[in-house]
Structure 1
Amino acid sequence: MAAKTPILDFQVAIEKCELCQVEDAQFYCNDCQEEMCNGCKTAHLGSKATRSHNVVSTKLVSGKAENQQNVQNIPEKLYRCTALADEAVCVKCATDIKHENHKFEELETTLYRYQDEISQNILETKLQKEKLQKSIHTIDINVKDYTEVSDKTINEINQQRKQIKSDVDNIADDLVYQVTKRKQQDLKLMEKEKKDLQKIISDHNEYLQSCEEKLKSMKDISNIQHQIKKPQSNLP
């Protein structure tokens, strides 16, 4: 980028303000071509008719009283001292010993060059701004694409989780059904086995009862026979 444009000050010697003729002149109006003091400058720029005028500051030439007497008005042409880049001088001031062996350039040429530099700066800044805006646009597109891909991936994961959960539920339901069915079958078999055993026990009880009845009968018969074998006198 081009170098920053320096501020040029007029190096002239004006003793009194051309407007009030009282205060020392510190400023110069390029539109009115008049020197003025600080108070008159404020009033000048505060007026509706002259508020847009180009008023710049002036620097008095120090050390040479004869130059202060000779320079009474702003010259038509000003020059920039290349050794003192922040000063603009007239032809008479350029002869001061202060500028001995200095090179000068017409202020108008300097201003045109600075205008070109500023225009180039504006162009380069606009190009950089366009590049930055394109970069921001690219980032916005990337953010949108990344967000869409991320959301799609999250949705797919949730769908897979639902499917896996459904599959696990189905497997678990099938296992529960199989266990429940086997439980019912086994309980039915055990109940049948229990009834069979109870039937056997019942049969055993009946057999035992029968045996006991037979044994009792046999005892009764034995007692009768024993009575029969006794002497008849003992019979009733």
Structure 2
Amino acid sequence: MRFMSTRMDAFPKCSVCQQQFTPKGPAPFLLPCLHAVCETCVTSAAGGVISCSTCQREVNLTDTNLQKDTVRQKVIFHLTVKHRPTELLCTNEDDGNQAVCWCQDCEELLCEYCQNMHSSVKLTRSHVVQNFCDMEPTASNIPKFCSIHKYDPLYLFDKSCKRLICARCRFEDHADHEVEKVDVAAETVTKQLEYHKNELSTLQTRYQAYMKSIRQGTKATDETHNSLKDNTRHIFQSLRSQLDQREKEILVDMENHVKKTKATHHALLTACEEDKKTCTRVLDYINKVFLFASKSDILGLERYVGEMTRTCLDTAAPQTYAVPTAVFNTNSLSKLKANVSGFGAILTMDMDGKSEIIADRGTQTDDDFMADVEMKHKMDMEELKTKIDSDEKHIESLTKLTDKLNSEIESLKSVSPLI
């Protein structure tokens, strides 16, 4: 039952009504945030505004012309072939037979009878027919035809109008526009998508490193917490009769400090996880584009993918998270016997940590002062060592990334004279 539920969850859903898409259901339309909305929600949008329930982004349909999400349509089709093949009927003959294969050239579902006929007819025997168990994602190479000049293929791209046109359109309404072949235009956009993919892959790695750093900070906070508790108990053993109540107060403060620190880590981690999910989602969609999108599909995706990529990059988190170190302040230990209520505090060590110890020098014995300085020095050395190790790993990562980017730039220069 759990396995079946997982397979059902794999089907894309409308980001407004949450209904799963099916091959026979309302077609998916692509929102600027790269989520999908069904045709029913598009036509029934109140006030011409659609609110994506996944990322809460609002889209004004009067300003935005949504296009059909052909990539998700093909994803839905392949998921249906994989998990619900009994729902697919032969489209070659209206006889209600269950389909068993797919003709890539005709873009039709075939039953066993039609499959046999397909392979025996001279006109179609050379077609690529895939059985459902052998189907793999592939982009369609069937040319689209002009809606105005019905028998003329759309093999040109008008860069001014951002649309596909045929040869006759080129010399009629688009004579003065900048036009190039679909293959050339699609290749340019494909390179841009590759660049976006590399950027997002790097950003994804950065999120992973940042989340790992936050988790390490949480672990370090726990370790520091345990160390501080042990140290606190040791000090209060000699002053138990006078300090029992104060010990309880300090432990409560300590727990609150730890909870606050962990809450901060959790908030950072949650925000980072959401940003990573967005990055991963855009990256996954680009990968699906490469698997399922035709060249004409690709041309319509650059604006949305580029916008989402820039959004991911603009909200990118730093590579690592600097964890503040907490220490137990034992200044004025000799004075505590006369002023127990003021003893002990949980401090977060920063650049001014040393001055706090020195400022209280006059109220300490030499032994107390040296013990505090020794503890502070030990903790500073451990923190410095951890920071050096982190910086070395960061430098190594940046060096590898720089070498990779330089290699890709040189590769692109050798391929295209435009770069």
Query: With structure 1 as the length reference, what TM-score do the two structures score?
Result: 0.43
Greater gyration radius: 1
Which has the higher relative contact order, 1 or 2, with Cα contacts under 8 A spaced 6 or more apart?
Answer: 1
Higher helix fraction (1 or 2): 1
